[in-house]
Amino acid sequence: MTTLEEVPEKECTGCDESWPATREYFNVSAKGVYGLHSWCKACMSEDYRSRNPLKRPPVPDVFGVNLRGGA
């Protein structure tokens, strides 16, 4: 008697690796295959990390304009 179930694998479109299609490896997404996101959790977290706004926004041009026209 076996209680093991076959878990389908799902390919992550972020890293092209196949992972078990479970919520342990993928975030839940209603639109995704198996109801899971197309990216594995690792890729999601890397994506979020790379988008983490440590970058400073560009300095607005307003200051240059003021300096030039302020004389």
Which of 14, 32, 38, 46 binds Zn ion (CB under 5 A)? It is 14
Note the Cα 18 to chain centre separation in Å. 17
* CB of 21 vs Zn ion, minimal distance in Å: 13
What is the pattern of x (binds Zn ion, CB under 5 A) and - over residues 17-46?
-----------------------x--x---
Which of 10, 12, 21, 37 binds Zn ion (CB under 5 A)? It is 12
Of the candidates 15, 13, 50, the one whose C-alpha atom is nearest the C-alpha of residue 32 is: 13
Give the integer Cα–Cα distance in Å for 9 and 16.
12
Give the integer Cα–Cα distance in Å for 11 and 59.
41
Q: Which residues of the shown chain bind Zn ion in the complex (CB under 5 A)?
A: 12, 14-15, 40, 43
